[in-house]
């Protein structure tokens, strides 16, 4: 199943380019707020799998799409989760996941213009998991049953603030400017993938591919991350988990490749789709 936030309303994609409004099709049982569905995720999936009226469908305009989980209670992010990225950052491989947050006010949708703060703004394509069932003390073996689905995200990062001062540094602040956590364009349930632990992700800056990997190259898989996080924190329905970026980030290049005003960043994942953002100075 492919879930959309279409003009702020929960929708299900029923064919390429068309969607059904969930609040209408369910006579108000679910939606219209896309964030609220995660509180009723199991009931929602049962309802959708049982069949629903698909006769009233509307076109999906890319500019009308919002974040599939627009107001998560918590946003987790994992650093250094790909070997080559740890190497380009000049850091040792972590023995346990390196966790920080992107504050929820940084979440935005899969298209539009993002304001560049002063400093050095960089791209980080990441697969993003959305929690569908509360998780506390969950083993990796059952972790996928707590995930509603997958979407693609950018862990946009202002590197100067991120790396300011002595360790531990300001990761959460440097990655939380408005619009720095775009996610979308759809939420895809794990059953839609041949292997949800092996998905191609990539991004291009001004048409030039700058990052590409498969998520099977992660050091800590999504189940391992859920086990680690949920041993400490209760994961709530609708929370986001950014799972780490591969090598190729602009800050590690010589010369550095930073995002400037007027640039276009296209971010994609196999089986999910693409986000498209441009940038302007503040
Ligand atoms: Zn990241």
The answer to whether the predicted template modeling score (pTM) of the entire model surpasses 0.85 is yes
Quick check: 209 and 131 in contact, CB under 8 A? no
First to last CA, the chain: 38
CA–CA separation, 209 and 249 (whole Å): 11
C-alpha distances in Å from residue 70, one per residue of 75, 134, 179: 11, 18, 11
Question: What percent of the chain has a predicted confidence (pLDDT) above 90?
Answer: 94
Supply the pLDDT for residue 111.
Answer: 98
Whether the predicted pLDDT of 15 surpasses 90: no
Question: Would you state the CATH architecture of domain 75-281?
Answer: Alpha-Beta Complex (3.90)
| Run of H or E including 129 | strand 125-131
Cα 79 to middle of ligand 1, angstroms: 5
Cα 171 to middle of ligand 1, angstroms: 9
pLDDT-based confidence at residue 279 (cuts at 50, 70, 90): very high
pLDDT-based confidence at residue 91 (cuts at 50, 70, 90): confident
Cα 125 to middle of ligand 1, angstroms: 8
CA–CA separation, 175 and 160 (whole Å): 11
Cα 245 to middle of ligand 1, angstroms: 5
Cα 203 to middle of ligand 1, angstroms: 13
HSE, side-chain direction, 13 A CA sphere, residue 92: 3
Give 37-73 pLDDT, tens digit per residue: 999 999 999 999 999 999 899 999 999 999 999 999 9
Cα 36 to middle of ligand 1, angstroms: 26
CA–CA separation, 238 and 156 (whole Å): 21
Whether the predicted pLDDT of 121 surpasses 90: yes
Question: 258-280 burial, b if ≥16 CB within 10 A, otherwise e?
Answer: bbeeebebbbbbbbbbbbbbebe
Quick check: 113 and 156 in contact, CB under 8 A? no
Give 162-174 pLDDT, tens digit per residue: 999 998 899 999 9
Whether the predicted pLDDT of 264 surpasses 90: yes
Quick check: 270 and 202 in contact, CB under 8 A? no
CA–CA separation, 267 and 281 (whole Å): 20
Cα 123 to middle of ligand 1, angstroms: 9
Cα 73 to middle of ligand 1, angstroms: 19
Whether the predicted pLDDT of 209 surpasses 90: yes
- Looking at 80-94, 155-169, 226-240, 241-255, which range is the least confident one? 80-94
- In the chain, CATH 3.90.850.10 covers 75-281
State the chain's mean pLDDT as an integer.
Answer: 97
Give 182-201 pLDDT, tens digit per residue: 999 999 999 999 999 999 99
The whole-number average pLDDT for the span 19-46 is 97
Cα 58 to middle of ligand 1, angstroms: 35
How would DSSP label each residue in 137-191? S--GGGGGGGEEEEEEEE--EEHHHHT-SSSS--HHHHT-STT-EEEEEEEE-GG
Residue 271 tokens read as: 């089986």
Whether the predicted pLDDT of 233 surpasses 90: yes
Supply the pLDDT for residue 160.
Answer: 98
Residue, of 185 and 86, whose pLDDT is higher: 185
């Amino acid at each position: 199943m492919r879930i959309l936030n279409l003009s702020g309303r929960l929708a299900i994609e029923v064919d390429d380019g068309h969607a059904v409004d969930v609040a209408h099709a369910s006579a108000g049982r679910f939606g219209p707020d896309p964030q609220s569905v995660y509180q009723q995720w199991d009931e929602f999936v049962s309802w959708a799998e049982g069949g629903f009226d698909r006769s009233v469908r509307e076109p999906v305009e890319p500019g009308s799409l919002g974040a599939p989980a627009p107001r998560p209670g918590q946003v987790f992010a994992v650093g250094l989760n790909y070997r080559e990225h740890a190497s380009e950052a000049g850091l040792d491989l972590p023995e346990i996941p390196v966790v920080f947050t992107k504050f929820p006010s940084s979440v935005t949708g899969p298209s539009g213009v993002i304001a560049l703060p002063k400093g050095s703004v960089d791209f980080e394509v990441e697969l993003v998991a959305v929690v569908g069932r509360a998780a506390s003390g969950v083993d990796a073996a059952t972790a996928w049953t707590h995930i509603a689905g997958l979407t693609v995200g950018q862990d946009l990062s202002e590197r100067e603030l991120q790396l300011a001062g002595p360790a531990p540094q300001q990761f959460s602040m440097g990655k939380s400017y408005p619009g720095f956590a775009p996610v979308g364009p759809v939420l895809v349930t794990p059953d839609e993938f041949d292997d949800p632990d092996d998905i191609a992700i990539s991004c291009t800056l001004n048409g030039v591919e700058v990052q590409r990997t498969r998520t099977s190259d992660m050091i800590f898989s999504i189940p391992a991350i859920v086990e680690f996080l949920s041993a400490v924190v209760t994961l709530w329905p609708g929370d986001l988990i950014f799972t780490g970026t591969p090598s190729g980030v602009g800050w590690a290049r010589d010369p550095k490749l930073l995002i400037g005003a007027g640039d276009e960043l296209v971010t994609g994942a196999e089986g999910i789709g693409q986000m498209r953002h441009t940038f302007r100075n503040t």
